[in-house]
Amino acid sequence: DKHFNTRPCLQDPAQPNVCSVVKEGFWSSYRLNVTEENPLGSNFRLLDVLMQAMVKPDPPESLLVEPVPFYPRRLQVSWDYPVTWPRESPLQLKFRLQYRTVLHGSWTVVETENLSVLITDALSGTEHVVQVSAKDYFDAGNWSDWSVEGRATPWKSPTAEASDETTAAELESSNEGPSQVPHTEPFDRSDPLEKVAILASMGTFAFIVLTVALIITILIWVRVRRKGKEQMKNHNFISGVHMKALPKAQIL
């Protein structure tokens, strides 16, 4: 009883085995009637198609891989939506990124909803290959093909590359090189958790100091008040004596 809106699928005469369904809804399902005709007769086949199940975005574009100054194990990676997936579309994309050194074959894969990733476990002094791919945010359809490769080498300490021609002064300064690297390295790796831990312990320390200071202040204040009250009492007592003494003096 349902009424279906049936339309012909337009064929390009140059490509007889292709027809394009244009400007159709993403969350719709379609039944395609593919009919073969020849002088002897015709035969048809029906295909049910879920648009969201077959969607496959184009790979992300404008991939940029950059070293991060002073961090020999970091690479900053950023990219953009493919131009064929309108940015203002309510259907967002999510991404996955894969990276490895130029020399070794195994990829590390990271998934993200952002348009950038900070790699923090790159191999120092080695060139890395990075690629990204995209998929519908709610997991409909398929992952896109991998994007074009991006390549970069993490930042290198200039003092770490001492050449044969280095002067005594440069050698001296290059001695700081190796000690500088382990200096930045633990910072580099530990950062977010360690910083939080340091902040937390500093906060706890400050809290304890403030609490002790507050308690001391309260104790001093209570003492001062008590003393003040005692003085007041003494004062009242004395004036009471005066008052009582006065009539006696009159009597006398």
**Torsions phi, psi for 41 (to 5 deg):** 150, -160
Extract the tokens encoding 93.
């994309």
In the bound complex, what is the minimum distance in angstroms from residue 17's beta carbon to ligand NAG? 17
Distance CA 189, CA 151 (A): 22
CB of 20 to ligand NAG, least distance (A): 18
Q: Is 35 in the site for ligand NAG (CB under 6 A)?
A: yes
Query: How far apart are CB 92 and ligand NAG at their closest, in Å?
Result: 36
- Which residue's CB comes closest to ligand NAG? 33
Smallest separation (angstroms) from ligand NAG to the CB of 43: 9
The CA-CA-CA angle for residues 49, 52, 53, to 5°, reads 65
> Residue 41 or 69: which CB sits closer to ligand NAG?
41
Residue ranges in 40-99 that form contacts with ligand NAG under rule CB under 6 A: 44, 46
37 vs 113, which CB is nearer to ligand NAG?
37
**Residue 152 Cβ vs ligand NAG, minimum distance, rounded to whole Å:** 55
Closer to ligand NAG by CB, 6 or 163: give it.
Answer: 6
Question: Should residue 11 be labelled a site residue for ligand NAG when binding is judged by CB under 6 A?
Answer: no
DSSP character at residue 8: P
* 33 binds ligand NAG, rule: CB under 6 A: yes
Write out the binding residues for ligand NAG, residues 166-205 only, by CB under 6 A. Answer: none
Residue with smaller CB distance to ligand NAG, 8 or 105: 8
Q: How many CB atoms lie within 10 A of CB 151?
A: 12
What DSSP assignment string belongs to 153-170? -----GGG---TT--HHH
Return the bridge partners of 101, or none. Answer: 128
Are residues 125 and 156 in contact, defined by beta-carbon separation less than 8 angstroms? Answer: yes
Query: 35 vs 167, which CB is nearer to ligand NAG?
Result: 35
Euclidean distance between CA atoms 42 and 239, whole angstroms: 127
**Considering the complex, what minimum distance in angstroms separates the CB of residue 12 from ligand NAG?**
19
For 193-201, the CB contacts below 8 A with 24+ separation are: none
Count of other CB atoms within 10 angstroms of residue 72: 21
- Residues binding ligand NAG: what is the number (CB under 6 A)? 4
Q: Give whichever of 33 and 89 is closer to ligand NAG, judged by the CB atom.
A: 33
Q: Are 76 and 160 in contact (CB under 8 A)?
A: no
Q: Which residues bind ligand NAG (CB under 6 A)?
A: 33, 35, 44, 46
